[in-house]
Amino acid sequence: MSSSEVHKVCLPPYKTTIQKLRHGLSEIFFPDDPFHGFKNQTWFKKLVLGLQFFFPIFLWAPNYSVKLLRSDIISGLTIASLAIPQGISYAKLANLPPIVGLYSSFVPPLIYSVLGSSRHLAVGPVSIASLVMGTMLSEVVSPIDQSILYLQLAFTATFFGGVFQASLGFLRLGFVIDFLSKATLVGFMAGAAVIVSLQQLKGLLGIVHFTSKMQIVPVLSSVIQHKDEWSWQTIVMGVGFLIFLLTTRQISLKKAKLFWISAAAPLASVILSTILVVLMKSKVHGIKTIGHLPKGLNPPSSNMLYFDGPHLALALKTGLITGILSLTEGVAVGRTFAALKNYQVDGNKEMMAIGLMNMAGSCSSCYVTTGSFSRSAVNYNAGAQTVVSNIIMAAAVLVTLLFLMPLFYYTPNLILAAIIITAVVGLIDYQAAIRLWKVDKLDFLACLCSFFGVLFISVPLGPAIAVGVSVFKILLHVTRPNTVILGNIPGTQTYQSLNIYKEAQRVPSFLILSVEAPIYFANSNYIQERVLRWIREEEERIKSNKENELRHVILDLTAVTAVDTSGLDSISELKKLLEKRSMQLVLANPVGSVMEKLNHANMLESFGPKGLYLTIGEAVSDISFTWKAQP
Amino acid sequence: MSSSEVHKVCLPPYKTTIQKLRHGLSEIFFPDDPFHGFKNQTWFKKLVLGLQFFFPIFLWAPNYSVKLLRSDIISGLTIASLAIPQGISYAKLANLPPIVGLYSSFVPPLIYSVLGSSRHLAVGPVSIASLVMGTMLSEVVSPIDQSILYLQLAFTATFFGGVFQASLGFLRLGFVIDFLSKATLVGFMAGAAVIVSLQQLKGLLGIVHFTSKMQIVPVLSSVIQHKDEWSWQTIVMGVGFLIFLLTTRQISLKKAKLFWISAAAPLASVILSTILVVLMKSKVHGIKTIGHLPKGLNPPSSNMLYFDGPHLALALKTGLITGILSLTEGVAVGRTFAALKNYQVDGNKEMMAIGLMNMAGSCSSCYVTTGSFSRSAVNYNAGAQTVVSNIIMAAAVLVTLLFLMPLFYYTPNLILAAIIITAVVGLIDYQAAIRLWKVDKLDFLACLCSFFGVLFISVPLGPAIAVGVSVFKILLHVTRPNTVILGNIPGTQTYQSLNIYKEAQRVPSFLILSVEAPIYFANSNYIQERVLRWIREEEERIKSNKENELRHVILDLTAVTAVDTSGLDSISELKKLLEKRSMQLVLANPVGSVMEKLNHANMLESFGPKGLYLTIGEAVSDISFTWKAQP
């Protein structure tokens, strides 16, 4: 390339403020352009597409076949065998009557099968949301002494959670859940799993008076304080079933084909333990059982929603937190299995589906539900093809509700504790934590923060801590961006970090710096100081090596993806400071939005054609050429 | 360049975790390398440098001359003539006895002259911090009925503010104040100025029963409700002096050389109005005056600090908020005038100086002080050379405190109101707001948010709103980064946005995308979806134009300055998704830290040498070459 060939740096095509605003809003709310299929279609076709868009059932129902049905029946029955014992257990975890767990495995899956777009999601109560709801509500209202109020608050929180979820989806604010980063979720889930498991010692040891607190210290001290209440019969039986369940889990983990072993184990344990208790009931007394459960379908509960009164704020808060947690789980599970089978799940649509299903649930005696990771995995492994497996599961729950409830009378509580522990153990993903440590220390730190935050501060605060840590990470990166000194790679027009590329060479009398962040109010002072320090250090180096004096400082703006007024002020000031020291500040390769801002701030004129280049290479060759041509 | 010349993408030199941590921490806390002068010095020299570092007085005192002293005396007396009436007025604004304003113009300037590194800062009480302190304290404690407690809380808040400021400086967390971006400060200050001016209607109209609230609605309705208390004598005199003061201000603004007109006007008005009141006192009764002020120096007040009791939290909160506000003003003023005279002010050291001066002030009957913008400008224009002008000013205040206090007995309150309004009118920087609108619409929005937040919600919440808006702006940029489709500029190895550079050309069967942000948990889903949409749109375009099939997607990572585990997962998943559609994902020019993460996540192998290039140009030529060579 000859030194005279210089390309002009162009401004982006002119757009009015309204156009920019429209573009910006469409990127924020419709980045996936969800209605692109609707363009250039007839009126009728648009109607059909619209129906399919809002009710995905219309997408797959016309092509549904007997073959698909067979797969769905098998997988539906499999997850039902998991959903029934887990439903009862998780309701217990939320301090709700066990029957509510079954109700919640009946209505929501039916609603989801109409609205949901994931083919593998198994819908029902989940451990984390149950735990958080139980903790938050029972801190204020006693589930035993004020059981009606407690139930009202649980349904109301579910309703608010559903409204929140559906509005996030409807307003296309789905990206909000992205702020619960995977790294912090790993820590949060592990912390919650530890707390839940320790809480289950109540059932497993047969303790009657247990703390309702959720931090690790009161839970552990409660276990030790009530040593006199430990019941050896409960312990023997509980630990026995726990070992059985954990073993079946381990087997299924080793061989994915044997998934049915761990899927069938909970129901088998329930049946077996119930028989055992019935057989021994005249001899052994320490073992507590579930007791009477009412037969029949979900009673309506819309009259129990609680829209004013002293606890409204509590219901709202609980709804928001359980809502966002269950949403995160549901959407993540949906995305995971969609990626495995190579289809797309629209996050915002899923949120609307989950939200509507919870709103409907809150009016039919259900508490908060979502897609469960463990049951969805079983569903996937059992060969589920469509959401019909959820319908089959709901049918199985229906049969249970109508006819089988008396059978649970002698089911011991300890088996529920064992089922919960087995389920939450899977939430402790130590391999993911190790990977975080290996790949990204800051992510690992975020993970640790939310883990210990949950253990020692509070479970419901966990997501807040997680979000806080994640946002702090972003701000740290923006506040202290990297600046790199570049050199030319001989024989090319490429400039790369001197520190990384040993063949890269300094250009005499030039200092070429790359700023690796947008220049913002939060870092404009820092960048200015840091650039001045680079110049000072470079001058010291030049002095000790007796090289050519430093004359030109090139700022490579390739990675400066945005700039605000503070950033522009900093650049201007830097230019003036350098001019006072008879050095020239040159900008290279500003992106479109930065060029626009430079233009609006009238800085293009002050830099002039010799102060702004498309590439570092052109800047260096053109300036050297001009410089040499001078006398 | 021949197609065979391909440069290897290198990893940064290996560093242990400890080394990385040390580097990271030194970039966060010592980006300016403050101790670089200490390297390779003798023990004695280091001691001298250390003294000069912590007490800048040792830097300039040895070279101080009579000539400098003359300038400093003139400027010192000039700012004293402003500081005395403003001190009394601002103390009133904080609901404190007027004498506290004078105390605060005596001790803190002396302390600052030893510790401070700005040569032009004029230290004393300022309007914003006075307003915020007055609002926050008087919301809980009545300054009239509980005057001792109120005074205790004011000193205690000043102490906490000082501790907070000094610790920010000592812990080198000075960047915290950068989060109060200039854009939001413009809005905040304008809002506060409007509120303060409206509040002064109390003094200017002679109203006795005035609201202590600080939102615009109660203030305005209070003005109208108490119409019967308006005193026409006060109004006539007040408006007259206000017009006089505003006129002098306008004259000085037009001609910088006439700065002394506006500098002398407040004191002149005080004297004139006092004489007028004395002359008319037998005839006119509606005009309220300052009344008795005690003579004498600052009494010690360390015994009034309040370290436990019900209002401790209030004092702490007030201290934090006034502390950060006054710090922001002081540091910004110091930086502004340092830039004009081409010397450096170390933000962290300034914070320690301001903090220590407030801590000392709180023990000597002073409330929160900092560098005042208006008085510093006068100081600068009057030719101040060093901080000695602060000492001269303190001496003038000393004389006032010892001998002149009785003269203020008949000074009317209305003149204080007029002085405050004239001072805060300068805070309404509508030109800055217009510039924000022109250059950066989002900055303008942030400015509006803090303006209206202050007016309608609360003044102390103002900074919080401002920080919130600023952080939201950063998060928005990170959550929805720009992705740009690139083309080759003919005859070069440069690739630029197709949208901006009309000469740029698509490379057949390639799609080249530049991602303009770090790939993080907060945007990894978005970027994945957005890239897939670009591919879909490109395929539709290719189909309608009947061009070559799309085979290679190059992601230009130049502006991807960081990546976390979620980002890596997204890239991996994108790669798999594209492979299923028989397309290849290629990465170009990852920066050092991204290369490290790719390596740790074992992704370098999965991409292989044909999936990772140093530049887009090399990627395109090498892949095309290989592709053509295949049968």
State the ipTM, two decimals: 0.84
Q: Dump the DSSP string for A554-621.
A: EEE-TT---B-HHHHHHHHHHHHHHHHTT-EEEEE---HHHHHHHHHTTHHHHH-GGGEESSHHHHHH
pLDDT at B25 over 60: yes
User: CB–CB of B474 and A475 under 8 A?
Assistant: yes
- Dist. CA B155–CA B144, nearest whole Å: 16
Angle made by CA atoms B610, B616, B619, in degrees to the nearest 5: 25
pLDDT at B222 over 90: no
Task: Tell me the per-residue pLDDT of B340-381, one tens digit each, with 9 for 90 and over.
Answer: 887 778 888 899 999 999 999 999 999 999 999 888 988 998
Contacts of B473 in chain A (CB under 8 A): 564
pLDDT at A346 over 50: yes
Q: How many CB atoms lie within 10 A of CB A44?
A: 8
The answer to whether the beta carbons of residues B192 and B426 sit under 8 Å apart is no
- Dist. CA A88–CA A274, nearest whole Å: 14
pLDDT at B1 over 50: no
The arithmetic mean of pLDDT across residues B6-33, rounded, is 83
Helix B441-452 vs helix B461-479: crossing angle, to nearest 10: 150
Is residue A246 within 8 angstroms of chain B, CB to CB?
no
- pLDDT band, residue B284 (cuts 50/70/90): low
Task: Tell me the per-residue pLDDT of B550-603, one tens digit each, with 9 for 90 and over.
Answer: 999 999 999 998 898 889 999 999 999 899 889 999 999 999 889 999 999 999
Task: Give the strands of the sheet with B612-613, arranged side by side.
Answer: B495-497, B483-488, B510-515, B552-556, B584-588, B612-613
Task: Tell me the per-residue pLDDT of A55-77, one tens digit each, with 9 for 90 and over.
Answer: 888 888 888 999 999 999 999 99
- Dist. CA A154–CA A143, nearest whole Å: 10
Average pLDDT over chain B, rounded to an integer: 88
- Dist. CA B83–CA B389, nearest whole Å: 12
Contacts of A32 in chain B (CB under 8 A): 529-530, 533
- How many percent of chain B have pLDDT more than 90? 37
- Strand B584-588 versus strand B552-556 pairing type: parallel
Is residue A566 within 8 angstroms of chain B, CB to CB?
yes
pLDDT at A630: 67
Cα B147 from chain centre:
33
Is residue A382 within 8 angstroms of chain B, CB to CB?
no
pLDDT at A158 over 70: yes
Phi, psi of B267 (to 5 degrees): -65, -40
pLDDT at B14 over 90: no
Is residue A347 within 8 angstroms of chain B, CB to CB?
yes
- pLDDT band, residue B247 (cuts 50/70/90): very high
Task: Tell me the per-residue pLDDT of A351-392, one tens digit each, with 9 for 90 and over.
Answer: 999 999 999 999 999 999 999 988 898 899 888 889 999 999
Residue A490 distance to chain B (closest CA, Å): 11
Q: How many CB atoms lie within 10 A of CB A294?
A: 9
Residue B358 distance to chain A (closest CA, Å): 25
- CB burial of A391-413 (b: ≥16 within 10 Å; e: otherwise) equals bbbbbbbbebbeeebeebebbbb
Of the listed ranges A427-431, A470-474, B332-336, the one predicted with least confidence: A470-474
- Dist. CA B417–CA A470, nearest whole Å: 47
**Nearest Cα residue to A599 out of A576, A568, A623:** A568
Which residue is associated with the tokens 């914003």?
Answer: B128
Which residue is associated with the tokens 């079983």?
Answer: A378
- Dist. CA A628–CA A574, nearest whole Å: 25
Is residue B247 within 8 angstroms of chain A, CB to CB?
no
User: CB–CB of A521 and B593 under 8 A?
Assistant: no
pLDDT at B91: 93
End-to-end CA distance of chain A: 24
User: CB–CB of B564 and A440 under 8 A?
Assistant: yes
- Give the three-class secondary structure for B486: strand
- Dist. CA B531–CA B549, nearest whole Å: 17
pLDDT at A1: 41
pLDDT at A470: 80
pLDDT at A3: 44
Query: CB within 8 A of B476, min separation 6: which ones?
Result: A28, B442
- Dist. CA B181–CA A519, nearest whole Å: 12
Contacts of A573 in chain B (CB under 8 A): 339
End-to-end CA distance of chain B: 24
pLDDT at A588 over 90: yes
pLDDT at B73 over 90: yes
The answer to whether the beta carbons of residues B322 and B462 sit under 8 Å apart is no
Tell me which residues of chain B, numbers 508 to 527, contact chain A at a CB-CB cutoff of 8 Å: 516-518, 520-526
Q: How many CB atoms lie within 10 A of CB A441?
A: 15
pLDDT at B17: 82
Query: CB within 8 A of B428, min separation 6: which ones?
Result: B189, B190, B193, B194
pLDDT at B259: 81
Task: Tell me the per-residue pLDDT of A76-130, one tens digit each, with 9 for 90 and over.
Answer: 999 998 899 999 999 988 999 999 999 999 999 999 999 998 999 999 999 989 9
Contacts of A16 in chain B (CB under 8 A): none
Is residue A7 within 8 angstroms of chain B, CB to CB?
yes
User: CB–CB of B479 and A566 under 8 A?
Assistant: no
- Strand B510-515 versus strand B483-488 pairing type: antiparallel
CA nearest to A498 within chain B:
B12
H or E element at residue A371: strand A370-372
H or E element at residue B123: strand B123-124
Cα A166 from chain centre:
17
- How many percent of chain B have pLDDT more than 70? 99
Is residue B572 within 8 angstroms of chain A, CB to CB?
no
The arithmetic mean of pLDDT across residues A559-568, rounded, is 90
Task: Tell me the per-residue pLDDT of A454-464, one tens digit each, with 9 for 90 and over.
Answer: 888 887 777 68
- CB burial of A582-618 (b: ≥16 within 10 Å; e: otherwise) equals ebbbbbbbbbbbbbbbbebbebbeebeeebbbbbbbb
- Dist. CA B628–CA B631, nearest whole Å: 8
- Give the three-class secondary structure for A249: helix
User: CB–CB of B178 and A526 under 8 A?
Assistant: yes
The arithmetic mean of pLDDT across residues B65-92, rounded, is 91
The answer to whether the beta carbons of residues B219 and B195 sit under 8 Å apart is yes
The answer to whether the beta carbons of residues A578 and A553 sit under 8 Å apart is yes
pLDDT at A2: 42
User: CB–CB of A175 and B569 under 8 A?
Assistant: no
Cα B437 from chain centre:
19
Q: On the CB side of B153, how many CA atoms lie within 13 Å of its CA?
A: 30
Hey, what are A117's tokens? 């777009």
Q: How many CB atoms lie within 10 A of CB A9?
A: 22
User: CB–CB of A477 and B562 under 8 A?
Assistant: yes
Tell me which residues of chain B, numbers 172 to 201, contact chain A at a CB-CB cutoff of 8 Å: 175, 178-179, 181-183
What value does the CA radius of gyration of chain A take, rounded to a whole number of Å? 31
Sign of torsion over alpha carbons B134, B138, B144, B149: negative
How many angstroms separate the Cα of B563 from the Cα of each of B359, B524, B577, B615? 43, 9, 20, 19
Domains and CATH numbers, chain A: 59-226+233-475 (no CATH), 480-629 (3.30.750.24)
Query: CB within 8 A of A205, min separation 6: which ones?
Result: A223, A229, A230, A231, A234, A235, A238
Q: Tell which of B8, B173, B175, B178 to mutate to test the A interface (max A CBs under 10 Å).
A: B178
The answer to whether the beta carbons of residues B455 and B462 sit under 8 Å apart is no
Which residue is associated with the tokens 């390339």?
Answer: A1
CA nearest to A518 within chain B:
B517
Tell me which residues of chain A, numbers 449 to 488, contact chain B at a CB-CB cutoff of 8 Å: 470-471, 473-482, 484
Q: Tell which of A15, A474, A496, A620 to mutate to test the B interface (max B CBs under 10 Å).
A: A474
How many angstroms separate the Cα of A143 from the Cα of each of A96, A133, A137, A157, A158? 7, 12, 8, 15, 16
- Dist. CA A428–CA A399, nearest whole Å: 34
Cα A421 from chain centre:
23
How many angstroms separate the Cα of A458 from the Cα of each of A450, A454, A558? 10, 5, 44
Nearest to A470 among B521, B558, B559 (CB): B521
Sign of torsion over alpha carbons B396, B93, B207, B426: positive
User: CB–CB of B175 and A479 under 8 A?
Assistant: yes
The arithmetic mean of pLDDT across residues A204-215, rounded, is 79
User: CB–CB of B183 and A564 under 8 A?
Assistant: yes
Contacts of A37 in chain B (CB under 8 A): none
Contacts of B526 in chain A (CB under 8 A): 31, 175, 178
Contacts of A566 in chain B (CB under 8 A): 181-183
Hey, what are B224's tokens? 């109208």
Phi, psi of B158 (to 5 degrees): -60, -40
- Dist. CA B512–CA B624, nearest whole Å: 14
User: CB–CB of A500 and B526 under 8 A?
Assistant: no
- Dist. CA A375–CA B501, nearest whole Å: 52
Q: Counting every residue, how long is chain B?
A: 631
Nearest to A12 among B5, B499, B600 (CB): B499
Helical segments of A255-346, H only: 259-280, 312-340
Residue B384 distance to chain A (closest CA, Å): 22
If DSSP states are collapsed to H, E and C, what string results for B490-527? CCCCCEEECCCCCCCECCCCEEEEEECCCECCCCHHHH
User: CB–CB of A568 and B439 under 8 A?
Assistant: yes
**Nearest Cα residue to B122 out of B263, B295, B246, B308:** B263
Q: On the CB side of A48, how many CA atoms lie within 13 Å of its CA?
A: 8
- Dist. CA A490–CA A507, nearest whole Å: 11
The answer to whether the beta carbons of residues B187 and B459 sit under 8 Å apart is no
Contacts of A20 in chain B (CB under 8 A): 441
